[in-house]
Structure 1
Amino acid sequence: MNSQVHYLPLTPGLFSILAVLLAGLVILIQLRVLSYAYMRLGVGPGVAMLLLFGSLIGSYFNIPITVLPGPPVRSAQIVEFFGMRYVVPLVASWPGTVLAVNVGGAVIPTLMSTYLVIRYQLWFKAALATAAIALVIHSMATPVPGIGIAVPVFAPVVATAILAFILSREYAAPLAYIGGSMGTLIGADLLNLDKISGLGAPVASIGGAGTFDGIFLTGILAVLLAGIASPLRPRPAW
């Protein structure tokens, strides 16, 4: 079973689009066209590329937590939601819905968000941004049979950037990343855990299929949008 919980959350075509987008960002970072955005986030271009590559590649890996009872699981299907096509993995002799944590969509964003909160001492503002985005995402989140919880991809991006800029111009970029990634995780996945067992999903991955694309794109695009309006690199609290 452990080998079957690891799978691409998107179809190869959509995953390739994200990979091409990432390659384009890497080229722009190397050309220093986008260096300002990640300097405002508080990391260098090398760390930014490692963060992006880690998130994309880590989307393949899920860490199982427990097994939820429920109806017979679906297998080897493609489910479409808001124009995005998600993969239901091929499984055999499955005990129920495996609740897991996605490395690229949950573990890495959580570690990065924690680092940014501590580095810039954004405890209150980060909590406020996360709570506000979580409410917005929760209102949009939709249970999708075979997949779990899915959210529209681009809707939260502008709202995240604007909210972060309103809360703090100097720290708009870190707040955009924290609010966009953590707000999506909490609003879409954690607040809907009670709905997962009845969807027949073989793997319900926190930060995985249904939310990974939103977390990946919201984190990147919100930082870029916020970075345009923020001043020079924010000063660390330590």
Structure 2
Amino acid sequence: MVSRVFYNPFSIVFMFLLLIILSVIVGILFFSLVSTAFTKIGFAWYDAFLLLILSLFGSHVNIPVTKLKSSKPVVERESVRFMGMVYKLPFKKAVQKQTTLAVNLGGAVIPGLVSLYLLLIFPEAFFYSIAGILLVSVVTYSISKPVKGVGIVTPVLVSPIAAALSAILIVSVFSVPPDLIFVIAYTGGTLGTLIGADIFNLDKIRDIGAPVASIGGAGTFDGIFLAGVIAVLLV
């Protein structure tokens, strides 16, 4: 008689429904956090929903800017698509010596435009926000690392924590009106991460050997979008 070590008391249908329910709950919680962050800055909930949807779809759009000659062979891993699944083959091929520099719509353009909009409608926070952006840029640049074949990588929580602490410090030292802390935190989290992680590391893109280097991410939410949201939630 063979005893079963692992036993699943639930049916496959039940587990599938549970997975759907959990996905919906996580999605609602994520939207709730994002909408809370944007309403703190001054947006209505429907504006937050629109920005989230635009960022989600925009995260899959990379706008090519230029092509850079790579100092190393650009390597792509062979893959095969079958029935909607992508399978990586266990060998690589060098295809070119150029890296396409692109800008991600949802991960860079939209958060950047939101930050610039905030600086325009809150001119009294402009110089304080610039100070926060510079602080976050220095911190982000110091911990960002180029990864061959991937791009510039930074720890997820360092930039938003730096943005939140910078906003708290600036408001405390310069006696800034408390309601401006959210603007300082968001602009510091987004533009500070964008400048520190991507702009300051443009000279290193030639050495990473990636076919595409996308400012703001490639197909997924980059730290730029999340940095601004998390920073606002932390202050």
Deviations 1:93-122 (A, max 9, x none): 556100111111110011000000011112
**Are the structure 2 counterparts of residues 19 and 190 from structure 1 closer, same or farther at C-alpha, using a change threshold of 3 Å?**
farther
| 1:223 and 2:224 correspond | no
Flag the structure with higher strand content: 2
Contact 1:148 1:210 in 2 (8 A): no
- Please identify the structure whose Cα radius of gyration is greater: 2
**Are the structure 2 counterparts of residues 94 and 50 from structure 1 closer, same or farther at C-alpha, using a change threshold of 3 Å?**
farther
1:137-216 equivalent positions in 2, closer than 5 A: 137-168=140-171, 169-209=178-218, 212-216=221-225
Contact 2:163 2:189 in 1 (8 A): yes
The alpha-carbon deviation at position 191 of structure 1 amounts to: 0.5
| Partner-residue secondary structure (3-state), 2:207 | coil
| 1:134 and 2:137 correspond | yes
The alpha-carbon deviation at position 19 of structure 1 amounts to: 9.5
Deviations 1:19-69 (A, max 9, x none): 97554233x37xxxx865433211011111211222222111111111111
| Partner-residue secondary structure (3-state), 1:159 | helix
- Report the TM-score when normalising by structure 1: 0.72
Alignment match, 2:65:
65
Name the % identity: 44
For structure 1, the residue ranges without an aligned partner over 5 or more in a row are 1-16, 78-86, 227-238
The alpha-carbon deviation at position 201 of structure 1 amounts to: 0.7
Q: Distance in 1 between matches of 2:135 and 2:216?
A: 18
Give the root-mean-square deviation of aligned CA atoms.
3.1
| 1:101 and 2:110 correspond | no
